[in-house]
Structures are given as C-alpha cells and as structure tokens.
Structure 1
Amino acid sequence: MNPQSRKRVQLVAVAGVFLAPMLIAFGLHLANWQPTNKRNNGTLIQPPQSVAADAATLPDGAAYHWDDTEFRWTLVVIAGPDCAAVCEGRIAEAEKIWSLMTQKATRLRLAAIGVEATPALREKYPRIEFVRSDSAPLAKLRPTTPDSATAAIVDPAGLLMLRYEAGYDPAGVRQDLSRLIR
C-alpha cells in the first residue's frame, strides 16, 4: 500500500470514529428510544400550571405563597376524602424524603392539603405546613377514592410541575426531587 492510500484509509477511519456515535444516536432518536434512568417517576404536567396566585392559608391564618423567594421546591401531599391512615403515612414518607435529601433538604418545603392540622399532627410532623388551598390545578389532583393521597411538586416560581397518582412510590419521588434540586 502506497503512502497516499494509507493516509486516505487513516482519514476514513478517523472520520468513522467520529461519525459512528452520531449515526447511532440518530438511529436511536428515530426509534424513539430513551434511557430509562433519565425518565421521571411522576407524570410531567404539560404545560406547567401556575398556582402562584392562589390565596392559600396556613392554619393560623397566615398567607402561604407557592412561589418561594428562597428558591425552594415544594412537595405537596394532597389528601382525598376521609383520609386518615394513608394520609398520615404519606406525610411521614414526605418527612422521610426531606431527611434523605441531606444537604439539599434546605431547598425543599413540605406541604399537605386537605389534612386537618390537629395539634398532635403538627407536633409529630413539624416540617409539614398544613395548607388550605382552593387552587383549581391542585384541586384537579385531589383523589376521589376515600382514604387515599396523591402528591405533586411545585417549583420555586409557583408552577405545578409533576404529579404522582395515589399509591405512588416515595423512592421515585425522592429520585425526581434529587434530579430537580441541584
């Protein structure tokens, strides 16, 4: 093989090394394949709905603002009708998620809607803010099944981003939050 054809083969080989990953990626895109570990566990709300204008209140009558000036995300537990044991379990799971976030925990708020803020619950779960809200986007997420609860994630700007159906996996919620909070 003469030097000129050897250089051509080397050029084609180098071009192949750089073009092959792009061709593979294009083929995977055409096949609509996505890696499973990059998908959300919750359902993305399209388009995100604003709850920032909602006139939510805390049990003491103070206003609760979904848009947070400290740039914190909010995990909201939304109780269904006659929610008792399941709601308390979901609230306990929310506190556990908060504690597992370690350094990122300061960037996460916890809220519960539709749960009566009894003194016993407020003492047992001090990180939970029991909120009264009439927001239409949040009301749509309220389960109709008795003794059930759903969850949602609200971003720091007050946009409803993700929702989790009744029976959601708290590990999936924590995984989504750890991706969102950097």
Structure 2
Amino acid sequence: MSGSNSSAPSAAERGDPLVQMSVHSLPSAPQAELSQRTRLGRLKMLLVWAICTTPVVASYLTYYVIRPEGRANYGTLILPTHDMPADAALPLKDLQNQPLAVSSLKGQWLLVTVAAGACDAACEQHLYYQRQVRETLGRDKDRVDRVWLITDGAPVRDALKPGLEGTTVLRTSQGDLAKWLSPEAGQPLSAHFYLVDPKGTWMMRFPAQPDMSKVKRDLSRLMKANDSWDDAGR
C-alpha cells in the first residue's frame, strides 16, 4: 500500500540486547596491556624487597632465636639464684673484729673468693687474679668490689696486706657461708670465684683454676647488659 513503511524494523528498534551492549564496556588493547604491566611491576618490587630483607630477617633469627655457641657464658649460672642471707643468718666481722651487716655489701657487683686466713699458694693466686681481672675492666672496674671471706680465725699475714688494698676482707664461719654459697661437687668453697649481683643475689660461679680472660669476658658482658643496676663505686 502506498504511504506505508514497508521496511522491516531494525534489530536496534526491536531492542535486541546484543546490539544494545556498548562496545566500550570491553577494555581496549592498550588498557589491558597497561594493567598487565602494572601487575608485573608490583611482583618485581615484591621480589626485590624479599631479596633485600631476607639477610636482615635471618640475622635477627640467628641472634635472638638461634643462640650462637660463641655467646655462651663461661661461668656457671646459678638457677635458681641464691639471695643474700639476712644479717643475722650470715654474721660478718672485719679484721678489727667489728661486726658488719651483710646487707651493706649490696649496690655493687661482688667478685668473691673464700679462703682460710693463713692463705696458701692457691689463695694468694686467687687474690692476685681477683685484682688483675678487676683492673682489666677499665672504666667499669669501679662497679666491681673485691671481697675475701675468711672462714676461720687465723690472722692474715703482714706480707699479704699491701695487696689487699681496696679488697673488702671479712670473717665468717664456713657453716654460715655454706647457707649461701656452694662449690661444684667434689670441690672446696675456696676453689671458685663467686659473682654476686648488686641486688645481693649470688648468680654465677666460675670454674676452679679459671681462665681469667674468660672470666673478664663474662664480667664485661654483664656490665654492659646491666649498666643501671649498681651504685657509684665505693
């Protein structure tokens, strides 16, 4: 019929969804390539970060978790530690026979040796080592007091006295002292140096016939690790 539209409706006019979908909803080739490059760049950065930080993480694990043998202490740690006895439990007297409260020794590190007043050759060597190792501590030496505990009433020989300057020399009974300090099995009390911390706690015992360079190493480490524990030198 004339005047009528004889052409068929187009797919767009029919509302065909396939045609109505915008082609702009799909990423263009340059956009896809850019996204891929971004992902690869991030992966490379993560890989570089992992390579750079692995040695640091490994060193921390080694130092704090896997303890190297080189860090082992020479002296024997006393566990549980032994607190300083009350004054009444460990009576002390100086060489003038005047009483001294054991609690007055607190506030400093104490490097203690034990021997009879007659002081045989082994005792003299201990007193010499005690002086020498303290001197090697340099500026930390004033944080350590040398103490000789005499376990009998024998007089101290005059020949020893010049070397005792700066040493705290006190008398007590071996029975009372044994309530606080003890040697390794099979050794006498006089065989060792005993280390007491500034709080008055016996916390380390050094071997008989000690290697004094290793004793000094332990003392230096303790001074560094606990530099705020003690008082000014006496």
Contact 1:66 1:157 (8 Å CA) reproduced? no
TM-score by structure 2 length? Answer: 0.63
Residue in structure 1 matched with residue 217 of structure 2 by the alignment: 175
Aligned to 1:46: 79
Deviations 1:57-79 (A, max 9, x none): 2222231535645x310001123
Kindly tell me: are residues 105 and 52 of structure 1, through their superposed partners in 2, closer, same or farther at Cα, counting changes over 3 Å? farther
Residues 183 and 191, structure 2, Cα contact 8 Å, conserved in 1: no
TM-score for the superposition, normalised by structure 1: 0.79
The structure showing larger relative contact order (alpha-carbon pairs under 8 Å, at least 6 residues apart) is: 1
Distance in 2 (CA, whole Å) between partners of 1:34 and 1:165 is: 22
Are 1:114 and 2:150 an aligned pair? yes
The structure-2 alpha-carbon separation of the partners of 1:167 and 1:73, relative to structure 1 and needing over 3 Å to count, comes to same
Q: Which of the residues 39, 44, 66 maps onto 1:4? A: 39
Aligned: 1:37 with 2:80: no
Query: Greater CA deviation, 172-181 or 48-57?
Result: 48-57
Call closer, same or farther: CA 1:90–1:143 in 2, change over 3 Å.
Answer: farther
1:101 equivalenced with 2:128 (yes/no) = no
Which of 130, 133, 137 is the equivalent residue of 2:180? 137
Structure number with bigger Rg: 2
Structure 1 gaps of 5+ residues are: none
Distance 1:46 1:28 in 2: 23
State the shift of 1:102 in Å: 2.0
User: C-alpha deviations, 1:120-171, integer Å up to 9, x for none?
Assistant: 3222321222222323121x2288657x621110011110011012111111
Note closer, same or farther for the CA distance 1:8–1:161 as it changes in structure 2 (3 Å cut).
same
Q: CA RMSD in A?
A: 3.2
Question: How far did residue 118 of structure 1 move?
Answer: 2.9
Q: Distance in 1 between matches of 2:63 and 2:220?
A: 27
Provide the secondary structure at the position in 2 that maps to 1:103. helix
**Aligned mates of 1:103, 1:177 — CA distance in 2:** 13
| Structure 1 letter corresponding to 2:169 | F
SS at match of 1:6: helix
Q: How many residues align?
A: 178
